[in-house]
Amino acid sequence: MTIVRTPTEYHAALREIEYLWGSEPDTEEGKRLKEYLAAVDHYERISKVTPDVRAIA
């Protein structure tokens, strides 16, 4: 289970998401992507971080 607790972990998770983006859902990479997405979403909600849309574009 992936947990994001600090800004440093948050930015590392965003880099990992970028790396894993496009992975097939039924693969280990796809499962890791899903975990990182959930962890980042949770961190953004509890810390009121504004998502960096530049990282998405």
Query: 1-25: per-residue pLDDT in tens?
Result: 789 999 999 999 999 999 999 999 9
* pLDDT of 51 above 80: no
What is the overall mean pLDDT for the chain? 89
* pLDDT of 31 above 90: yes
Once rounded to an integer, what is the mean pLDDT over residues 22-46?
A: 95
Burial state string for 27-54 with b = 16 or more CB within 10 A and e = fewer than 16:
eeeeebbebbbebbeebeeeeeeeeeee
Phi–psi pair at 11, nearest 5 degrees:
-70, -35
**What CA–CA distance (Å, rounded) separates 2 from 50?**
20
**What CA–CA distance (Å, rounded) separates 27 from 30?**
5
